[in-house]
Structure 1
């Protein structure tokens, strides 16, 4: 789908001085502006508590946003016209008169109203109620960042309260992994080509791995992370959303509800884990001091804001099964963690080996044929197969076919937040999480959360490794291993 310049809009950014706004949201809006994808009349209204006037806020933006603009750098002419779009409103959430001031500031601004809540989830409901008190919830769209709640009950409480003010079709629950180019291309590969669909099922797939690994620790987010953990922070949203994209049935169209209906069917088909079996199919870990790329890093329990006796997990590995005809018996291995050996996000589809080989044992080993969809740091799709080595004899070697987007396509890639923000402005919901999807994910995750809350501490792993050995042992029970362990 080609993106056209948007219709007129007013984009209101709550948390306008926060880290997310500086690193992701404003850089994404700048890139859309530079590429001519935003209507000339569109305006951005940043909202925060800082005692700034517009000039002071623009100085803050110049200082903190430019460093996060894409590798192509800043075009000063485009930057100048971009910041001309920006207004600033100082707003105290506890003062009703400040929302009257916001309404007055928006009164003459054009087009569709988008409210982006780049704040903590505890502020979602107060902001929505305050917007409704001055009639700013009408003909508007609201974007909610994760995490949306701490468990199913708190998630439902937020959704219930927001749902009293905004209709479901006005609510955009953002998961930026769904906006990444390789995830979009996964849909294109599966549903735009006859090649993969016959193979995309239990008869031909041995196992699937989905990994989101980070080298970073909790940084300055110790207080938040110690009350959240990797299962809530990454599995309940990002990893289960990627799983649903990988495993979904072909939708009848790419409209918002067709895609999300199929994702929901996957989430509802997840085999519920018996609490007695959680230790066999779920591994949790916590990083200790170690070395990453030659630099010593501290243990999680010594990070600022973290309790010294914390039992919060910084690593999770899971074996997941989907109870339907397409995927019955195929293990899905999910993994995420902080302070791991590398920063990588990837989906690995391991196809079954040939049933008989006249060419030696190489053709019989698991993973001889596989598809690797790399989401970060470089976005590629790579198909592995076997070919004859040059020379005497029939000796096989692994080769691969690459779809490297930056080499094949001359157009620059669109960052995930850029795509998703344009979708909000255009009113496209397909890449946003519907409430029933979110509920299904929480229902599946909660037994694990409850069991871990009642059990001992996570398994230790040294920073700079790939997590606890138990995560590798879990895969070894299925005669497979994580991708990096094959090398």
Structure 2
């Protein structure tokens, strides 16, 4: 276990501290780490924003948000005040040189107070268009001049295509060394995603089966009930391909498909992930319509409540062809996975919120039972990421009774049965950043390879904005074309939904 009291004094600078991400995720994460005794003994959070605020006003604002968004509410006012005493608010105008001079003087004064040069963690919770300005000013004043002590966290989207991602990497490299740059993808901080490594490489019974000989197909689903809400303007420029497939789903895919690392060193694990991205067979422009399905939600109902279609949302053009749903099929050209289809899908306004991985094993080659192979259910390993957090192994077993007939059954490892206080993803990732562990963060080559995977798809859709665009009813599992994508190879989407899981727990399933 890390001894957090031995960590050097740490100053965390949050650009955009009054924004939505900071109030919903960042301050709750730091608060929970503090309650768990996982913050350095000496630390300070400098909240940077354009608005006029005193320290007390901003601390009160943080208090209100913790009671709304934190997994641990404020039970002890004394504990909160201890935490809040580490928060300082500084008015900061990203475009003004004077703001950075003020910041430099303040950092120097804090180093004097600490009695040594503190570690500095710069968190850019701002629009991507401001990254260049902040980076250049940090460089000009030498605010992050120590590669061993200073780090910067960049939120997605990291670029909007491959060329812009390369340009952003080059820009950041003028100020920071690669080991200082922490490109964050909160999905990699989720407990069940991290457990994929432990599950695969900590158990001898599964890894020998984790290849083309025994696995028939892999599915990765990230479905959301919500629509674009008040982010229509942002989503018009993003779409599901850039917002979800290029980062979240690609990173989950690398965890599932990577080769065994020789150690848990960060570069070793990230090398293996990069290998997966390089092995993904690139889809040619002529193949885009065959391997991909894009959709856009129409009006419908979620849990019985009517909801509007995408083009009725605020900030969305009435003739918009932006996709809110994507399904596609990938192949990996390497020895382990040759010929195994990887199906990924993501969508908004889906029937239920669900993030899951389904590993479907090949059917038995011959059935000795009277009903033949038709009555057999495939063996599956299902890793539920959210809202359920569990790992499920589905297999066939004998029905109780005198006849020799089979029925499906499950073995389940449920995270909630072990702990109902699982750390949030941002807690894990921010702690790693404080400790200087980049394992769960993306490296520049990973980002560029992930963009390369989707480049031809992105270009084909931009050149023909109506290509393969299907409407689907809000509250459904997406367009029928997504089902047809799998049906061509005799597969179907596995929606082991949260409601079904709850029914099974009550004894009504299987």
User: Equivalent residue for 1:23?
Assistant: 24
Aligned with residue 414 of structure 1, among 423, 426, 430? 423
Q: Check conservation: 1:383, 1:402, Cα contact below 8 A.
A: yes
Alignment partner of 1:455 is 2:464: yes
Structure 2: gaps (5+ residues): 501-510
Structure 1 position 365, deviation (Å): 6.2
Matches within 5 A, 1:175-214: 175-214=185-224
Cα displacement string for residues 361-418 of structure 1 (whole angstroms, at most 9, x for unaligned residues): 576667521111111012111111111111121121111111111213x583221110
Aligned-residue offset at 1:52: 1.2
Cα distance in 1 for residues equivalent to 2:375 and 2:262: 37
Q: Give the 5 Å matches for 1:314-393.
A: 314-361=324-371, 368-393=378-403
Distance 1:50 1:182, change over 3 A: same
Deviation at 1:456, TM superposition (A): 4.0
**Alpha-carbon distance between aligned partners in 2 of 1:456 and 1:411, rounded to the nearest angstrom:** 45
Asked if the contact 2:104–2:143 (Cα under 8 Å) also holds between the matched residues in 1, the reply is yes
Q: Name the counterpart of 1:440.
A: 449
Equivalent position of 1:475 in the other structure: 486
Q: 1:3 to 1:460 in 2, by over 3 A?
A: farther
Say whether residues 1:215 and 2:225 are aligned partners.
yes
Whole-Å Cα distance in 2 between the matches of residues 264 and 365 of structure 1?
40
Q: Deviations over 1:63-93 (max 9, x none)?
A: 2232111167644333221111111111001
- In structure 1, stretches of 5+ residues that fail to align are none
Give, in whole Å, the separation in 2 of the partners of 1:83 and 1:73.
12
Q: Match for residue 123 of structure 1?
A: 130
SS state of the match for residue 109, structure 2? coil
Deviations 1:28-52 (A, max 9, x none): 1111000001122111111111111
Q: Report the Cα distance in structure 2 between the residues aligned to 1:361 and 1:281, rounded to whole angstroms.
A: 35
Matches within 5 A, 1:180-329: 180-329=190-339
Contact 1:340 1:464 in 2 (8 A): yes
TM-score using structure 1 length: 0.96
**Cα separation, partners in 2 of 1:361 and 1:221, compared to 1, 3 Å:** farther
Following superposition, the deviation at residue 183 of structure 1 comes to 1.2
Report the Cα distance in structure 1 between the residues aligned to 2:75 and 2:470, rounded to whole angstroms. 45
Match of 1:5 in 2: 4
1:288, 1:257 → 2: CA distance? 44
Asked whether the equivalents of residues 27 and 66 of structure 1 are also in contact (C-alpha less than 8 Å), the reply is: no
How far does residue 294 in structure 1 lie from its aligned partner after superposition? 1.2
Sort the Cα spacing of 1:319 and 1:426 in 2 relative to 1 into closer, same or farther, 3 A.
Answer: same
- Tell me if the contact between 1:248 and 1:263 (Cα under 8 Å) persists in the aligned partners: yes
| Root-mean-square deviation over aligned CA pairs | 1.7
SS at match of 1:278: helix
Query: Cα distance, 1:129 vs. partner?
Result: 0.8
**Superposition map of 1:398-409 within 5 A:** 398-408=408-418
The change in CA–CA distance for 1:349 and 1:102 in structure 2 (over 3 A counts) is same
Asked if the contact 2:231/2:315 (under 8 Å) is kept, the reply is: yes
Given that 1:144 and 1:174 are in contact with CA atoms closer than 8 Å, whether structure 2 keeps it comes out as yes
* Count of matched residue pairs: 485
Partner of 1:90: 91
Change (3 A) 1:418 1:396: same
Cα distance between partner residues in 2 of 1:19 and 1:177: 18
Mapped contact 2:279–2:333 kept (Cα < 8 A): yes
Q: Is the 8 A contact 1:288 1:299 kept in 2?
A: yes
Do the aligned partners of 2:67 and 2:73 also contact (CA within 8 Å) in 1?
Answer: no
| Native 8 Å contact 1:208 1:350 kept in 2 | yes
Query: C-alpha distance in 2, partners of 1:243/1:19?
Result: 28
Aligned partners of 1:385 and 1:400 also within 8 Å: yes
Q: How does 1:48-63 map to 2 (within 5 A)?
A: 48-63=49-64
1:28 counterpart SS class: helix
Distance 1:367 1:455 in 2: 41
* Corresponding position of 1:153: 163
- Equivalent-residue separation in structure 2 for 1:447 and 1:216 (angstroms): 28
Task: Quote the Cα distance in structure 2 between the aligned partners of 1:138 and 1:85.
Answer: 24
Deviations along 1:431-458, one digit per CA (max 9) or x if unpaired, are: 0000001111111111001111122422
In structure 2, the residue matched to 1:34 is 35
d(CA) in 1 for partners of 2:289, 2:401? 49
Greater mean deviation of Cα atoms: 23-32 or 60-69: 60-69
Q: Deviations over 1:265-286 (max 9, x none)?
A: 1100100112111111100000
* Structure-2 residue corresponding to 1:47: 48
Rounded to whole Å, the distance in 1 between the matches of 2:356 and 2:371 is 27
Q: Is the 8 A contact 1:151 1:446 kept in 2?
A: yes
Going from structure 1 to structure 2, the CA distance change for 1:17 and 1:394 (only over 3 Å counts) comes to same
Deviations 1:137-157 (A, max 9, x none): 212100000001111111111
Are 1:428 and 2:437 an aligned pair? yes
Give the TM-score normalised by structure 2: 0.92
